[in-house]
Amino acid sequence: MTEQQKTDDLRYLIIGAGMSGMLAAIKLLEQGKRNLVIYEKADRIGGTWRENTYPGLTCDVPSHSYTYSFEPNPDWSEVMPSGAEIQSYFESVADKYDLRRWIQFNKEINHCKYIDGQWRIETKCGVKDNADIIIAASGVLHHPRYPDIDGMDKFEGALFHSARWDHSVPLDGARIAVIGTGSTGVQIVSALSTRASQLTHFQRTPQWIRPVQNRKFTEAEKTAFRSDPALLKRMQNDPDLEAGIEQFSAAITDPDSEAMKQIDQEVMQNLEQSIQDPVLREKLRPDYRPACKRLIYSPDFYEAVQRPNVDVVVEGVNRIEPKGIRTQDGQLHEFDVIVLATGFQADRFVRPMEIEGRGGVRLNDLWKEGPSAYMAISVPDMPNFFMLNGPNGPVGNFSLIEIAEHQWGYIEQLMALVEDGRCRALCASNESFKRFEAERVEAAKQTIFATGCSSWYLDGKGVPATWPWTRSRFKAEMKAPKFEAFELL
């Protein structure tokens, strides 16, 4: 049997049927690969957009940019699409490419071990499988972070995390508390401010808000998108939007740049001009640089918090009692519903899966100080284990679909070395990983994320864990892998 015949039988295993996992499957199928499987822990596709169904959920990336490059959608209803509409888009893509036939639903992998040149996996329900190549597309924001607040189990009303929304709970006319001030908290407050009899936003840290207009597309526009593929493609690659993304990318990598100063001015002006009450304005004024935390885009949050039935509380939460929330000043705020918009454990990535690589090396041990990967894709001693949207990749106000597509182009070139028989497996070498990580950390310390705020971008040492260079550099790196940085086995 020739080496080529052997590699024709390579088995590909994808972890996760969200945006990245679906992308990997589509690309493999396009190449004629049929020996593949997707293991999905839930009962349907969608990832983040399946998990999150809270009122007001929208994407902060324009709809036409938040699509696969090969699957434009002429029927988006508005510029900033709802979560339900995005989930529907992914469902339609799964239908078009017949992806469900390749997916094992309700099969959460809890162990992957590299033995004799293959990965052996086992799911929580006892299913065992082997794979030559693993694509870890498990996502970032899917493990809810619950706050450490005394008395949460004592509350007599409804209490739930925003990513576990209880749609059986009536909201109209209810007294609602929202704990958390990230994008999720902002969107929920905006959506429920016209429905609740009393809405209280418990704010630990105020956020800078960047204004955005979320207009609906007209039927005439959608008809034009359907009839003119070139127009639809231009919507996907809007030159004005591209210029804005490049400007933002330059700004966050250089806090003293003119681009960053423009963002500073824009968000400060938004606060000053939008909030009339000087007391409320100061409550909402952050004490850190704009974009140090992920910038929040909202067309109506400042309008929502000025409604008479909405209150912003900055006194810290002391505990939760049967009737409501008692703040540090001793006051009891009574509620019917408490929503925990407290985010996710963004440092989990493929965990809590146990991953054992070459020679019994455990990923948990490698990531003891925090998750990291060469080019956000490969980890030393983890042969043929590639991550999409893994640690240290570009996050923030970018389309993660675009990021994943660039990463897939990189991974394809790595897998080609195995598929062509030039090696049996490969992973980043320890030397190249350490050099890359040292450069990344030094660059990260110079970004806007390191200018003095607490955010989920920071690792345990307070260093930004994100891609610290420009979007242009990321695209260039993904286009041309440095094969000498990899150990061929």
CA distance 451 to 448: 5
Helix, strand counts (H, E) of the chain: 15, 21
CA distance 395 to 401: 11
CA distance 419 to 141: 32
Helix (H, G, I), strand (E, B) or coil at 128: strand
Domain range 3-143+345-488, its CATH number among 3.30.450.40, 3.40.50.10490, 3.40.50.2000, 3.50.50.60? 3.50.50.60
| Distance of alpha carbon 315 from the chain centroid | 30
Which two structure tokens, joined as six digits, stand for 246?
């490049």
- Domain boundaries of the chain, sorted by first residue: 3-143+345-488, 152-340
Residue 8: its pLDDT value, please?
67
What are the C-alpha distances in Å from 12 to residues 233, 415, 419, 464?
31, 10, 11, 32
Phi, psi at 120, each rounded to 5°:
-110, 125
Helices 19-30, 400-419: axis angle to 10 degrees equals 40
Residue 2: its pLDDT value, please?
41
Smallest CA-to-CA distance from 80 within 399, 330, 394, 353 is with 399
**Residues in the chain where the model's pLDDT stays below 50:** 1-5
Please state, as a whole number, how many other Cβ atoms lie within 10 Å of the Cβ of residue 41.
Answer: 18
Residue 347: its pLDDT value, please?
73
CA distance 11 to 16: 16
Residue 382: its pLDDT value, please?
98
Phi, psi at 103, each rounded to 5°:
-100, 135
| Distance of alpha carbon 275 from the chain centroid | 30
Q: Do domains 3-143+345-488 and 152-340 have the same CATH topology?
A: yes
* Sheet architecture: strand order including 337-340: 158-161, 337-340, 175-179, 198-202, 310-313
The answer regarding whether domain 152-340 maps to CATH 3.50.50.60 reads yes
Smallest CA-to-CA distance from 80 within 214, 245, 235 is with 214
| Distance of alpha carbon 8 from the chain centroid | 34
